[in-house]
Amino acid sequence: MNLPYEREEKKFSDEDMLAAGKKVLHKEAEALTSAASRIGNEFVAAAHLLSRCKGRVVVSGLGKSGHVGRKTAATFASLGVPAFFLHATEGAHGDLGMVCRQDLGYFLSNSGETRELINIIPYFKRLGAPIIAVTGNVNSTLAKEADIVLNSHVESEADPLGLAPTTSTTLQMAIGDAVAGMATLLLGLGKEDFALFHPGGSIGKKLLLRVSDLMATGDKLPLTKESALVREALFEITSKGFGATSVVDNDGRLSGIFTDGDLRRFLEKEGVQGLDLPVYMAMTRTPRVISPDSLAAEAIRIVEEWEVSALIAVENDRPVGMVHIHEILKAGVA
């Protein structure tokens, strides 16, 4: 790493370094605990403002507070509260045009005196857009101009110098999470709603993708009558590629499953002549089944718990599909 000046690394023992790291975490945890003990109805009011907002939540800040603001806006949006981040400086140079009358301002500044942030307050006032302020100084200009003030005061920063925004930004972020969580309760959002906001990621897949989306059906479904010979069931196993076939009675109801493992065990017992015996003699009579409407994540849980590779999807006691663990993993559910 090329530095503008040479810097010699100080000598500390591993124990000293570990203690320093723990001290940072403890100080930040203490700040969160202290904040939790002092919050009041102002947080409830802020949550109501967010949940009732007809426009978008315009999150703004500068410096480290700006970085926290970006994350907070993303959290709001992911929980169903439309939001975007507005850089305070860019806002004063034209980007305020993105703000509408039905929007809500959510401003972050530890000092509450960030000039660039103060400069854009009059625009929100003219529009009649309310402002929620997250600040460590409840007597600041920002706090006085805001409709709701969320106190993010900390006794000290957690870094060894006590100067870098560490504890303060951690608390700012936690406050955003708290208000977002409260607004989510007011909006009555469920897991399905959350999944709709995350369709491309593993979260969305776990909450949206169902067994019916992944299972093989029709001609691709391995299906054998219980009166069929083992050799016929073996053909069904190998031709469909599931390593198993569902076994049904004369009425089409599921009576078992026949796997390549069942085949090996049966031939060890009966010899080659076992190929000409009926498959019901070799099948497993208690197959693991699942509803086609079940989430694919539930299928993952079952195959892991019972150490099987395929599940039979059943409706009205009849197999309608089969899903393999490989297909679930390929879909990115796990």
> Of 159, 311, 94, which is closest to residue 221 (Cα–Cα)?
311
**Do residues 176 and 306 both lie within one domain?**
no
pLDDT at 292: 93
> Of 234, 242, 238, which is closest to residue 217 (Cα–Cα)?
242
Q: Is the pTM of this model over 0.75?
A: no
User: pLDDT of 219-259, one tens digit each?
Assistant: 999 999 999 999 999 999 999 989 999 999 999 999 999 99
CATH of the domain at 114: 3.40.50.10490
**Do residues 156 and 254 both lie within one domain?**
no
**Do residues 37 and 175 both lie within one domain?**
yes
**Do residues 80 and 162 both lie within one domain?**
yes
Q: Is residue 1 part of a domain?
A: no
Q: Is residue 6 part of a domain?
A: no
Q: Is residue 4 part of a domain?
A: no
**Do residues 113 and 243 both lie within one domain?**
no
Residue 147 DSSP label: S
**Do residues 183 and 218 both lie within one domain?**
no
CATH of the domain at 286: 3.10.580.10
Q: Is the pLDDT of residue 218 over 80?
A: yes
Q: Is residue 285 part of a domain?
A: yes
Mean pLDDT of the chain: 88
Q: Is residue 13 part of a domain?
A: no
Q: How many residues does the chain have?
A: 334
Residues β-bridged to residue 322: 216, 312
**Do residues 221 and 183 both lie within one domain?**
no
User: pLDDT of 96-135, one tens digit each?
Assistant: 888 989 999 999 999 999 999 999 999 999 999 999 999 9
Q: Is residue 11 part of a domain?
A: no
Q: Report the interhelical angle of 167-187 vs 63-78 (nearest 10°).
A: 20
pLDDT at 267: 94
**Do residues 36 and 170 both lie within one domain?**
yes
Domain that holds residue 326: 211-330
Give the other-Cβ count within 10 Å of 281's Cβ: 12
Q: Is residue 16 part of a domain?
A: no
How many domains, in total, are found in the chain?
Answer: 2
Q: Is the pLDDT of residue 2 over 80?
A: no
**Do residues 162 and 249 both lie within one domain?**
no
User: pLDDT of 293-334, one tens digit each?
Assistant: 998 888 888 988 888 889 999 999 999 999 988 888 776 666
